Amino acid sequence: MQIAQQQQGDFLVLTLEGELDAVTTPTFEAICDKLLEAGTRYVVLDLAGVSFISSAGLRSILILAKKLRPVQGELRFARMQAVVTEVFVLCGFDALFSTFPDVASAIVR
Amino acid sequence: MQHFECMSTIENISRLEKDVLTLAEKFGATDKTSRHVLLVLEEILTNIRLHAYKKEPGLIEISASLCDADIHLLHLEITDWGPPFNPLVDSAAPDLESDIDDRPVGGLGIHIVRNLTHALSYVRLDAAHADALAPLSGGNRLCLSIPLG
């Protein structure tokens, strides 16, 4: 799992590359915790490069979203592949989060 | 019937998933149903790695066969030799409707498995079922079928 960071307007865009599963989520969670400590509030996850997500990946996303709530932050998604969308819908995550076809529309507040 | 087995390390599990996936494709799995096979394996095998064999890696066994009914089904029997754990009963119930604050983070793995499989069942194996390689304390076996068509 590779994670690139880029500030775009109010949002920090995290571009994920690889699989979001039980093996890779500890790295993802550690990076997110650091960003939250540093004051990040608005996050877009660019998932164009994520080809697989398991319940461990969903869990880490939900944990991040829960941590952003008390600081009035927001978590959005861009460029989600159909394989990830399928798991999102199966687990009712599509109702929790806003998803966008591209990063440009995801960073508009 | 094809038999696979390995110790529950991350590397071995990744290889085991690929081996079963190759078999599923040979049995006619599509891109979509291959993904379902991988997802089900990932959920169950991760659970075994992290919970059944918390302290040190242990033996995972998989028997795989094709059920040629109206639709092709990949039938899997997945066995570990850890402490008793029935994921169908002992897992947290998934909550798919609460908002972010109230939604519990657990129970999604078994929810995914239930939704992508047919005829999911659990049996606790006593020592009499154990083969020569396995410890005598007994094991857990999940039996399930995944549509391939």
Q: What residues of chain A lie within 8 A of the CB of B111, using their CB?
A: 55, 90-91
pLDDT digits (tens, 9 = 90+) for A62-82: 999 999 999 999 999 999 999
Q: Would you say A77 and A47 are in contact if contact means Cβ atoms under 8 Å apart?
A: yes
What ipTM did this prediction achieve? 0.93
**A55 contacts B111? CB cut-off 8 A:** yes
Total domain count, chain A: 1
- Where do the structural domains in chain B lie, given as residue ranges? 2-147
**B96 contacts A21? CB cut-off 8 A:** no
pLDDT digits (tens, 9 = 90+) for B95-120: 999 999 999 999 999 999 999 999 99
If one counts every other C-beta atom within 10 angstroms of the C-beta of residue B149, the result is: 11
By CA distance, what is A53's nearest residue in B? B39
What are the residues whose beta carbons fall under 8 Å from the beta carbon of B117, sequence distance 6 or more? B40, B144, B145, B146
Name the CA radius of gyration of chain A, rounded.
Answer: 12
pLDDT digits (tens, 9 = 90+) for A6-58: 999 999 999 999 999 999 999 999 999 999 999 999 999 999 999 999 999 99
| Cα torsion angle, A83, B11, B17, B105, sign | negative
Residue A95 sits in a domain of what CATH number? 3.30.750.24
Say which CATH architecture domain B2-147 belongs to: 2-Layer Sandwich (3.30)
**B42 contacts A66? CB cut-off 8 A:** no
Q: Is A58 on the interface with B (CB under 8 A)?
A: yes
Substitution target from A55, A58, A74 for chain B, most B beta carbons within 10 A? A55
Phi (first) and psi of residue A12, to 5 degrees: -95, 120
Q: Would you say B58 and B42 are in contact if contact means Cβ atoms under 8 Å apart?
A: no
Side chain identity, residue B96: L
Tell me which residue range forms the domain holding A8: 2-106
Q: For residues A87 and A20, what is the distance between their CA atoms, to the nearest angstrom?
A: 12
By CA distance, what is A60's nearest residue in B? B105
Q: How many CA atoms lie within 13 A of B13 on its CB side?
A: 26
Q: Is A66 on the interface with B (CB under 8 A)?
A: yes
